[in-house]
Amino acid sequence: MTLMKHRIVVLGAGYAGAFAAGNLARRLSPADTEITVVNAAPDFVERMRLHQVAAGQDIARRKLADVFAGTGVRLRLARVTGLDPERRTVAVTGEDGPGELSYDTLLYALGSSAAHHGVPGVAEYAFDVTGLGSALRLRERLDDLGEGGSVLVVGEGLTGIETATELAESRPGLSVALAARGELGAWLSPRARRHLREAFDRLGVTVHEHTAVAAVEPARVITADGTVLPAGVTVWSAGFAVHPIAAAAGLEVAATGQIVVDRSMRSVSHPDVYAAGDCAYAIGENGRPLPMSCASAGLTNMQATAAIIARLTGDEVPVTGLKYFGNHISLGRRDAIFQMVGEDVRSKPWYLGGRTAARLKSGILKGAEWGIAHPTFGLPTRRRRPAPASDRAAVRVAA
């Protein structure tokens, strides 16, 4: 009798999905498992660099087919349109039309997009940097805007800060401003906050603090108090939202639409489904939900893959860290801030800034890029340990 391979399907090939697929391919025997990655675009997108793309910088793209070449991972270029967790199937559509994939274990890592928060005009007139296509559209619009044009970045989070400073440095002919609902850099330590403000002053970025945007129009925004701010281009960086596919499929989700998972990143309602990255509602070691971020993608994908491997091979599920150590914020190409945080996610007094912090951030980005290009490199193997006979499929660890 031929043993059926255990089918693992990974939805999404961003930081969480691509790393997870490589880890699974390295650790599980190809004789027992079949790993398929579904992604709409053919390239790996370095989301942490998309503000650079929008600013006009050329960032090398890496084909996912090249990333997974020789790993045994199957790549399906298609868009996910639905999920049936009861039948354990995924509906997709691609160049070859609609189709369906069956799975035994699903890793849901579809990421996030810009959250519009119901603000009128955002969908019609605003730009964002949450995807490669949207970053390129913003880049083209900025090229058309030309010298003397005005850009308003809405949102004082990491994405907003990095986008505003990158645009101001790369396109000095533009008038760049940022609208913040609260105080700029309020979560930073006093010295880091002062460094941030000095960087904004140096780059000529105007800050509108305690300013909530109530509507976006073609060449301006209207604030909650009726103030009009000029904006030849509005860049929306006011948070992230997940796709409603998981909720529509009947998985238990949080108010954010994220999949509610246990400590091992396993869906609390459907044990064959795991989630990683922005779409996972995971509780960190401080008792708070992990924020949607690239750092969370790394933490959750490591825990999810470790849990999948352990359960398939009959081992005890390990507990990997879900702890933040700090925020790293680019302020153009030659300046940055690295802010250490404690267990309560409050900033510590110490921070690193300037060119040293910028070089550290560059090293982190290059390390992530190298890791994606070598998805099965250097991960430790484990001793073969057969899964209990009661398990659905006995899966061996790769030698």
Nearest-angstrom CA–CA distance, 95 and 307: 34
Q: Band the pLDDT of 394: cuts 50, 70, 90.
A: low
Residue 383 falls within a domain, yes or no? Answer: no
Q: What is the pTM of this model?
A: 0.91
Nearest-angstrom CA–CA distance, 205 and 123: 25
pLDDT, tens digit, for every residue of 338-362? 998 876 667 888 899 999 999 988 8
Residue 166 falls within a domain, yes or no? Answer: yes
Nearest-angstrom CA–CA distance, 346 and 325: 10
User: 345 and 197, same structural domain?
Assistant: yes
pLDDT of residue 390: 42
User: 143 and 101, same structural domain?
Assistant: no
pLDDT of residue 398: 66
* Listed range (129-138, 165-174, 360-369) with the worst mean pLDDT: 360-369
User: 167 and 221, same structural domain?
Assistant: yes
pLDDT at 33 over 90: yes
Nearest-angstrom CA–CA distance, 162 and 51: 7
User: 181 and 227, same structural domain?
Assistant: yes
Pairwise pLDDT comparison (161 vs 388), residue with the higher score: 161
Nearest-angstrom CA–CA distance, 49 and 54: 9
Residue-range definition of the domain harbouring residue 234: 116-238+325-376
How confident is the model over 131-152, as a mean pLDDT? 95
How confident is the model over 361-376, as a mean pLDDT? 78
User: 274 and 182, same structural domain?
Assistant: no
Nearest-angstrom CA–CA distance, 237 and 292: 13
Q: Band the pLDDT of 381: cuts 50, 70, 90.
A: very low
Helix (H, G, I), strand (E, B) or coil at 132: helix
Residue 24 falls within a domain, yes or no? Answer: yes
User: 122 and 108, same structural domain?
Assistant: no
Q: Band the pLDDT of 384: cuts 50, 70, 90.
A: very low
Phi and psi torsions of 214, nearest 5°: -100, -20
pLDDT, tens digit, for every residue of 284-298? 988 899 999 888 999
Nearest-angstrom CA–CA distance, 85 and 238: 32
pLDDT of residue 345: 67
pLDDT, tens digit, for every residue of 102-117? 999 999 999 999 999 9
Name the nearest CA neighbour of 155 among 105, 114, 103.
Answer: 114
How confident is the model over 274-280, as a mean pLDDT? 97
Nearest-angstrom CA–CA distance, 53 and 46: 10
Which position has the token pair 């790769």?
398
Q: Band the pLDDT of 392: cuts 50, 70, 90.
A: very low
Strands 273-275 and 105-108: parallel
How confident is the model over 37-65, as a mean pLDDT? 94
Pairwise pLDDT comparison (145 vs 394), residue with the higher score: 145
pLDDT of residue 248: 98
User: 152 and 65, same structural domain?
Assistant: no
Residue 386 falls within a domain, yes or no? Answer: no
Q: What percent of the chain has pLDDT over 90?
A: 80
pLDDT of residue 168: 98
User: 57 and 190, same structural domain?
Assistant: no
User: 207 and 128, same structural domain?
Assistant: yes
pLDDT at 389 over 70: no
Q: Band the pLDDT of 388: cuts 50, 70, 90.
A: very low
Tokens of 261: 């998972």
Cα angle value 99/376/88 (rounded, 5°): 30
Q: Band the pLDDT of 380: cuts 50, 70, 90.
A: very low
pLDDT at 382 over 50: no
241 bridge partner residues: 113
Nearest-angstrom CA–CA distance, 102 and 87: 8
CATH code at position 329: 3.50.50.60
How confident is the model over 265-278, as a mean pLDDT? 98
Residue 150 falls within a domain, yes or no? Answer: yes
Dmax over Cα atoms in the chain, in whole Å?
73
Residue 396 falls within a domain, yes or no? Answer: no
Long-range contacts of residues 187-192, Cβ cutoff 8 Å, at least 24 apart: 187/327, 187/346, 187/347, 188/327, 188/337, 188/339, 188/347, 188/351, 189/339, 189/347, 189/348, 189/349, 189/350, 189/351, 190/349, 191/349, 191/351, 192/337, 192/339, 192/347, 192/351, 192/353
- Total domains in the fold of the chain: 2
Q: What percent of the chain has pLDDT over 70?
A: 92
User: 52 and 87, same structural domain?
Assistant: yes
Residue 384 falls within a domain, yes or no? Answer: no
User: 357 and 262, same structural domain?
Assistant: no
Q: 144 burial class (0-12, 13-18, 19+ CB within 10 angstroms)?
A: exposed
* Listed range (92-101, 295-304, 327-336, 343-352) with the worst mean pLDDT: 343-352
Phi and psi torsions of 44, nearest 5°: -75, 130
Nearest-angstrom CA–CA distance, 239 and 254: 16
User: 93 and 29, same structural domain?
Assistant: yes
Nearest-angstrom CA–CA distance, 56 and 74: 33
pLDDT of residue 349: 87
Residue 170 falls within a domain, yes or no? Answer: yes
